[in-house]
Amino acid sequence: MSAIDGLPPLREVIARHDLQAKKQLGQNFLLDLNLTARIARAAGDLTQCDVLEVGPGPGGLTRGLLAEGARHVLAIEKDARAIPALEEIAAAYPGRLTVIHGDALEVDPLAHLAPPIRVAANLPYNIGTELLTRWLTPSEWPPFWMSLTLMFQKEVAERIVAKPGGRAYGRLAVLAQWRTEARIVLTLPPQAFVPQPKVESAVVHLTALPGPRFPADAKVLEEVTRAGFGQRRKMLRASLRGLHPQIETLLSEAAIAPTARAEEIPLEGFCTLARGLKAAREAGR
């Protein structure tokens, strides 16, 4: 018996279902159910929420989410071997767990979820940033989710919460912090996983803000940060040259030194610049 539910320990589940980790699926499993319960708690009050979990694997975090009272969990898993193990959890929590065998990059989860929705996942490293970027760039804001609680390699987690002035600060920080409150809530050593990854991991909790911190057109903001951080060693007057013939004037109007580099510019500066660029284009300047 495990501490958080009456289901068998995860090692036994893995052995019985022949779930040896596969590297190409980004599989590093969490087997300590006290730890998965902690991650579930970091996701906030789940009792009134549906939870989307990507990559449940043998179900450690899934069990944490259910034990912490999630109203309903939708778990999308690509590895067919894990589905019978997950169905056993579904049977222990009648009506509260839906398992979909599929690729999270292709399955539309919304047909199976009712608001309010939280997302919680120990993401496969190979699709983690792709999924995060999608969740942060929906066609309308606020997004379908109220929070994201996601495990990443620590280096990626640090890029999400980074402040200006260092190497970690880049497009991901601007994208995440523009419309969410993002913080690292837990750091985990390699030993927490089976098999052990080479690097530390961290859980990031992002709460959707009702609207952006500073107004800007999402596409223009993305254009500016892609150009600025794409050549981050260059001064902005050079890295942003392709965006507008009068980029130096637009930078000055946004109170940004044309000689500054992207990593020095706070979120507000990028938003001011994106507004100025859009206005200049619309005015045919």
User: Site residues (CB under 6 A) for ligand SAM?
Assistant: 25-30, 54-57, 60-61, 76-79, 82, 103-105, 122, 124, 127
Of the candidates 142, 141, 144, 183, the residue with the CA atom closest to the CA atom of residue 160: 183
Smallest distance, ligand SAM to C-beta of residue 3, A: 16
Closest CB to ligand SAM among residues 30, 274:
30
Phi and psi, residue 114, nearest 5°: -120, 140
Smallest distance, ligand SAM to C-beta of residue 17, A: 12
Of the candidates 147, 179, 150, 180, the residue with the CA atom closest to the CA atom of residue 48: 147
Closest CB to ligand SAM among residues 26, 143:
26
Are the beta carbons of 50 and 109 closer than 8 angstroms?
Answer: no
Smallest distance, ligand SAM to C-beta of residue 197, A: 9
Closest CB to ligand SAM among residues 54, 161:
54
3-state SS class at 110: helix
Nearest-CB residue to ligand SAM? 55
3-state SS class at 159: helix
How far apart (Å, rounded) are the C-alpha atoms in residues 32 and 194? 10
Are the beta carbons of 63 and 7 closer than 8 angstroms?
Answer: yes
Smallest distance, ligand SAM to C-beta of residue 98, A: 14
Of the candidates 131, 152, 142, 231, the residue with the CA atom closest to the CA atom of residue 178: 142
Smallest distance, ligand SAM to C-beta of residue 169, A: 26
Closest CB to ligand SAM among residues 124, 170:
124
**Structure token digits, residue 95:** 């009506």
Of the candidates 40, 43, 42, the residue with the CA atom closest to the CA atom of residue 59: 40
**Structure token digits, residue 165:** 């002035």
Closest CB to ligand SAM among residues 45, 130:
130
**Structure token digits, residue 139:** 């066609």
Smallest distance, ligand SAM to C-beta of residue 246, A: 44
Closest CB to ligand SAM among residues 124, 276:
124
Are the beta carbons of 175 and 225 closer than 8 angstroms?
Answer: yes
Closest CB to ligand SAM among residues 35, 146:
35
Smallest distance, ligand SAM to C-beta of residue 190, A: 13
Are the beta carbons of 265 and 274 closer than 8 angstroms?
Answer: no
Phi and psi, residue 157, nearest 5°: -60, -40
Closest CB to ligand SAM among residues 27, 272:
27
Smallest distance, ligand SAM to C-beta of residue 272, A: 38
